[in-house]
Chains A and B, each alone.
Chain A
Amino acid sequence: MAGTTHAVNSVADGLRLPLEFTSSPRIAVVPLLEVGAEAPEVKTVFDEIRTFYAMDYVPAVYRWMARDAGFIQGYWTAVREAFIDRKLDRLTKEILAFAASMTAKSDYGVDFHLREARRLGLSDAMLTEAVEVVQLFNTVTKIADALQLQPDFPHAVGNR
């Protein structure tokens, strides 16, 4: 889910899509498909998205993707499969997506994934701890890169 999170955030922030849950002055630089004007196959996707996120509207980033029915069908299915409960539960995945969004400084991603994590049960204590870890590792990764530290486990199984 790291890849889809980063990609969706890039599209949403790059196109200046308004935040979903927080008021923002952002105005989309592209026209978005109006809900109700979509093709039948896209309506099915929109219904799934609303149900998955327990929203009564369709997030702007998916209204953008809906310009290409074949693309949104494939991409949404991939996102859904990446985020559903598997070995990691859905809340943990949303916390990871929130951490990725913070690190990438994605306003859209932070707004979206924080709301979703909250909806799935993220407490204030969990949020505090998650942000602490994000802060710690944004510190050490910058130090490591600045000093060009070589990995401690360069040949460990699973490192490649």
Chain B
Amino acid sequence: MEIVHVTEAHELTPEDQRFCEATKAWFKIDFVPKMSRVLLTVPEFGRPYGRASRRAMTDGALSRGQKELIATMVSAINVCEY
């Protein structure tokens, strides 16, 4: 189990809730990932981190699919189940 309370999306500020809605659309899912909510627990960290993430994961010289594969590889090497 998580060792911290994972904030519910409706507990976030309106600005952060809008970002969470964009996150749902980005991933084509109907819920806000725990990581997004955890990061926004400290908005001063989570907001710029989220912007950097979105920028980095967008199609560019590498496709979004290639980037997701890299993310999967990093997660596997780090044995991160999440």
A-B pair number, CB within 8 angstroms: 104
- Given A144-B35, A150-B1, A96 and B69 touching (CB < 8 A)? yes
Residues of B within 8 A of A149 (CB): 2, 6, 34-35, 38, 82
What chain B residues lie within 8 Å of A148 (beta carbons)?
Answer: 1-3
- 5 residue pairs of the A-B complex, CB under 8 angstroms, read A92-B69, A99-B70, A103-B78, A136-B57, A149-B82
B21, chain A: closest CB distance, angstroms:
16
Q: Chain B interface mostly helix, strand, loop or mixed?
A: helix
Q: Looking at the complex, which one of B52, B73, B82 makes contact with A150 (CB distance below 8 Å)?
A: B82
Residue-wise, chain B 12-50 has the 8 Å CB interface mask toward A (1 for contact) of 000000000000000001010111001100000000010
Report the Cα distance A148→B6, complex, angstroms. Answer: 11
A88 CB contacts on chain B under 8 angstroms: 69
Instruction: Across the interface, name the chain A residue whose C-beta is closest to B62.
Output: A129
Whole-angstrom distance between the Cβ of B23 and the nearest chain A Cβ: 11
